[in-house]
Each structure stands twice: as C-alpha cells, then as structure tokens.
Amino acid sequence: MKIKIIFWILIAIFLIIQFIPSGRPEVKKDNPKDLLANNIVPDEIANMLKTSCYDCHSNETVYPWYAYVAPVSWLVSRDIRKGHEKLNFSEWENLNKIKKAEHLDSMSDELESEEMPLPIYLLMHSNAKLTPEQRQTLIDWTGDFADSLFE
C-alpha cells in the first residue's frame, strides 16, 4: 500500500515539474554572422565543429527528445546556455580580431586538455568523440586560422 502511494507521488512530481520552464535556448536557423558561413574552413574541420561543438556553441542546436523532459531538460539547457555565453559560433562575425584569436586560443586549450566536448555530452553523442588525430587537426587549425586573421 505504502509503495503504491510513493509511486503515485513520484509520478505526480514528475508530471508537475514538466511545467517548470527549462530555459532552453531557441533554435535559429538563419545565422548570417556564423563562423562557417563567413569563412573558408576545410570540410574536415567544419564537420568536426558541427558534430562535436555546434550543439552547445551555436544557435543551431539539434535537441534530442530528452531535452524536452524535466529534469534532464534543465541540465541540457543549462549546459547550452553556459556554452553560448562562453562561445557562440553563430555570432562569430560580431567579434573583433582580438576576441576571435582569444577564442581560438581557448578552443585549443580545451581540446588539448580534453575538456571539450563536455564528457557528459559524449555519453549520448558517441559520434562527437574526437580521436587524438582529429583533436590535433583541430588544434592545428585554430592556430592557422588565428594567424590568418592578422595577415
């Protein structure tokens, strides 16, 4: 009897929390200031950025179904909001050269230390995992691209 009541209370809580807004950033498909739209980036690099970084660092997030189910939706939304705050490839051309170079340098650091893509993301997106070679290719590109800004 008691177990049944606890079960229904949990179900009720689960249903009620679905009404709490998750603060999920909205998806925008038209991003005229996007990094990839405005620069010549090799396909290999563009694909890696799209697959491993764009869900959290652009306005073009592809939300999985569980991003709509609380409480997971709160965690997903928070990571994307925080990711956008730090770096948003959809707003790239709004940055000046110095800022761009700083971001590229910081990308290199995050890749080097294997802090990005966020490990929790890789649990559900195994295709976003980067091999050591891919990591190195991206790191090299951040350096080359930063240099090209000042040519």
Q: Does 82 contact ligand HEC by CB under 6 A?
A: yes
- Total chain residues near ligand HEC (CB under 6 A): 18
> For residues 151 and 146, what is the distance between their CA atoms, to the nearest angstrom?
9
45 binds ligand HEC (CB under 6 A): no
Expressed in angstroms, the distance from the first to the final Cα of the chain is 75
Backbone angles phi, psi at 43, to 5 degrees: -50, -40
Binding mask 94-123 for ligand HEC (x = CB under 6 A): ------------xx--xx----xxx--x--
State yes or no: residue 84 binds ligand HEC (CB under 6 A).
Answer: no
- Separation of alpha carbons 132 and 111, rounded Å: 10
In whole angstroms, give the CA distance from residue 34 to residue 4. 52
Identity of the residue, 35 or 116, whose beta carbon is nearer to ligand HEC in the bound complex:
116
Name the site residues for ligand HEC (rule: CB under 6 A). 52-53, 55-57, 79, 82-83, 86-87, 106-107, 110-111, 116-118, 121
